[in-house]
Structure 1
Amino acid sequence: MIPLKDNIPSSRTPVVTVGLIAANVLVYLNQAMLSPQAAVQFIREYGLTPLEISGGDLSIPHPVPLYATVFTSMFVHGGLFHVGGNMLYLWIFGDNVEDRMGRLKFLVFYLLSGLGAASAQIWANPASKIPMIGASGAISGVLGAYLFLFPHARVLTLIPLGFFSRVMEIPATVVLGFWIIVQVLNGVMTLGAQVGGVAWLAHVGGFIAGLVMVIPFAGRRGRPLRGVPLL
């Protein structure tokens, strides 16, 4: 399922959400201009390698302090679809969470969600030498907060059906519920794997971090908001 837009309007311009999207896109454009070898080195330098954090393996020099890679890794992506998919989710769901929390709180919440995601991945696979990159973990926290704050929201969703596709209006609980189930199942199946790919348990960790932090950052649920028509 590919979300296209939700029916919850924002009361103000989502400055932080737009800024985060711009930062991620700019970093990716910089990566795209590098040679293949330099691009790989960029990922090694700014990505988060679990073994380095858990075991202190400093075989790869970093232009930033080692623990800063927890945050720099959130802005590094492995390809166009990687960054594009992440920014789509951030654009659809981030504006409403930012609207409820406020700009500064949302920025802190986003970064802490990414920290929670990184912690989960390090716990799951502390000996991994594969750099973890991408905004997915932080955005997973945003999804957890959105699910808590806007359980009655509806999402216009593209559903691929073989050679065909269909656009449907689906409850956000279904869209995000399906998403987290996929993350958990894949995370369990790849637990301890020493191969590259998606950091599924980082997504789960970010999602849980978002659920845990949402009340301190945004307060309890308010009245259900009147959604706007999607179709």
Structure 2
Amino acid sequence: MIRITDTVKHLIIINVIMFIGTIAIGHGELFYKWFALYFPKNDLFQPWQIITHMFMHGNVAHIAFNMLALWMFGSAVEQQLGSQKFLFIYISAGLGAVFFQLAFYYFHYFSLQSSLVESGIGVSELQEILTTNKSARQFSAEQMKNVQGLFDVYYASMVGASGCIMGILAAFGMMNPEAKLMLIFLPIPIKAKYFIPGIILLDIISALTGQSFFSPSNTAYMAHVGGALTGFIIMWYWKKTQFNKNRWY
């Protein structure tokens, strides 16, 4: 049985406390309003959400799966790297996940906005439509589709430790490339050096096509990619400079 390490244990406790607070206070809405990460153009966005959303979860299955992964892979990584390096990867991967997901949202948002402006709808009018959900004009089918896309991004919220855990998973894979892993829904052992890149590739495909493979359709796929890539870059740098005075302690 995998021994749970101290930092992993503390992270799990924080996540569980936040989840209990979410369901026990404010009918499941107050904690979301305060601590989930909202699209920065939305008035609900607050700077602290960049960190707090990493400790929020949507439902029991969401937190259970993430905490199981944190226990399994996080404990192994912390044992190999130590608590400081483990925590550095964990938080950095969470920030990398935010950067990738928000960049993806912004690209999508401004692409839709540009199409709507070209069709004759002003930016100020679009902002009013988004904040009031009202409009005096009639939309064409294409305009309506684009407006709905804007709504989806504008009111999107992000919660979960998945980005952090993907960074830890990438670190685990780089240190244990021959370790055999498998999905619950695909119980076939696959070496980590193939398994982890495969998961990242599926996330990229899901983000670009909207086709979900093993995750719920509302998953922030690019957050997974950003977290994994951040973990990979950190581990690559540490490995490259392990005998260099610039290495991180």
TM-score interval for Structure 1 and Structure 2 normalised by the shorter chain: 0.7 to 0.9
Q: Tell me the residue number matched to 2:17.
A: 26
Residue 84 of structure 1 corresponds to 64
Q: Does 1:208 align with 2:234?
A: no
* Between 18-27 and 176-185, the greater mean CA deviation after superposition: 176-185
Q: Which amino acid aligns with 1:206?
A: G
Higher relative contact order (CA 8 A, sep 6+): 1
2 CA distance for matches of 1:201 and 1:169?
25
Higher helix fraction: Structure 1 or Structure 2? 2
Structure 2 contact 93–227 (Cα < 8 Å) conserved: yes
In the alignment of these two chains, the number of paired residues is: 191
Point out where structure 2 has 5 or more consecutive residues left out of the alignment: 110-152, 212-216, 243-249
Q: Confirm or deny: 8 A CA contact 2:165 2:227 kept in the other structure.
A: yes
| C-alpha separation in 1, matches of 2:16 and 2:194 | 29
CA distance in 2, matches of 1:156, 1:124: 29
Partner of 1:15: 6
2: CA distance, partners of 1:97 / 1:120: 24
Contact 2:21/2:31 (8 A) holds in 1: no
Q: Which segments of structure 1 move beyond 4 Å, counting only runs of 4 or more?
A: none
Change (3 A) 1:197 1:110: same
Give the counterpart of 1:189 among 182, 203, 209: 209
Partner of 1:172: 192
> Could you tell me the TM-score, scaled by structure 2's length?
0.68
Q: Which residue of 2 aligns with 1:124?
A: 104
Tell me how far apart the structure 2 counterparts of residues 117 and 153 of structure 1 sit (CA, whole Å): 25
Q: CA RMSD in A?
A: 2.7
- The alpha-carbon deviation at position 15 of structure 1 amounts to 0.9
**Displacement after TM superposition at 1:122 (Å):** 0.7
1:136 and 2:162 aligned: yes
* TM-fit CA distance, 1:113: 0.6
Quick one: distance in 2 between partners of 1:137 and 1:153? 21
Tell me if structure 2 keeps the 8 A contact 1:74–1:114. yes
Instruction: Extract unaligned runs of 5+ from structure 1.
Output: 161-166, 223-231
Query: 1:120 touches 1:201 (CA, 8 Å); kept in 2?
Result: yes
For the residue of structure 1 that corresponds to 2:52, the secondary structure is helix
1:212 CA displacement = 0.5
- The 1:156–1:136 alpha-carbon spacing in structure 2 relative to 1, beyond 3 Å, is closer
Q: Secondary structure at the match of 1:67?
A: coil
Shift of 1:34: 3.3
Give TM-score, length-normalised by structure 1.
0.73
Contact 1:44 1:131 in 2 (8 A): no
Q: CA deviation at 1:172?
A: 2.3
Question: Which has more radius of gyration?
Answer: 2
Structure 1 residues 100 and 24, CA gap change in structure 2 (3 angstroms) = same
Structure 1 equivalent of residue 29 of structure 2:
40
Deviations 1:17-64 (A, max 9, x none): 1211121112112222235xx3123212101112x2xx4x5x23x7xx
Partner of 1:150: 176
